[in-house]
Structure 1
Amino acid sequence: MKANRASGTAIVLIVIGALMLTGMFAPLLGRLLGLLFPIIMIALGYYGIKRGRVVIGTIILAIGILSLLAKLSWIIGPILGIALVIFGISLLKGKRGSYRS
């Protein structure tokens, strides 16, 4: 049996999938793979749009973006809170400065 690049990739994907299903990855590596899948979906959606498959590309891109946002929600919430506090402080400073001029 002659091995080529496609069969090698297929074997790697099968092994990674089997390890993911059995839960043998460390928690950190599992989280990284959890982030990798939405990023791959975003890339495939973008590639699909560039190749002219706009409908399926947009669907895959949207699913990837929503999945990535869900995975990163633990950091997006605090960042949004910090941004709102900074924006509110800048608005207060702007009002106070406009009365003096």
Structure 2
Amino acid sequence: MKNRNNGTAIVLIAIGALMLFGLFAPLFGKLIGLLFPILMIVLGYYGIRRGRVVIGTIILAFGALSLLAKLSWFIGPLLGIALVIFGISLLKGKRNSY
């Protein structure tokens, strides 16, 4: 009985510490927020490898979409930079062809 209470206490302390880190350290909170989608992707991949293709694909897709949504603040500016660089390379390419 005492060992079971110790395990519960440790789990509660760990969850509370993660919640506090999320409040007091926004960067650490964002990293913890990324952990769940990454775990979904890993579990989906593991499910596909184990032969559960349908459920593994569904879990992997949800994880990938969730991760994409959480990283949209980073992906948007990268896409913008890539479009500007691609546009400049197209303009330089047209000048060299004349």
TM-score (norm 2): 0.79
Residue 41 of structure 1 aligns with which residue? 40
1:15 positional shift: 4.4
3-state secondary structure, aligned to 1:52: coil
* Count of aligned pairs: 93
2:20 maps to 1:24: yes
Kindly report the root-mean-square deviation, in angstroms, between the aligned alpha carbons of the 2 structures.
2.5
Segments of 5+ residues of structure 1 without an aligned counterpart are none
- Give a deviation string over 1:44-96, Cα, whole Å, max 9, x none: 10111111100100000000000001110001000000000000000111111
User: Matched residues, percent identical?
Assistant: 71
Structure 1 residues 12 and 94, CA gap change in structure 2 (3 angstroms): farther
Structure 1 residues 56 and 17, CA gap change in structure 2 (3 angstroms): farther
Structure 1 residues 42 and 32, CA gap change in structure 2 (3 angstroms): same
Residue 68 of structure 1 aligns with which residue? 67
Residue 52 of structure 1 aligns with which residue? 51
TM-score (norm 1): 0.77
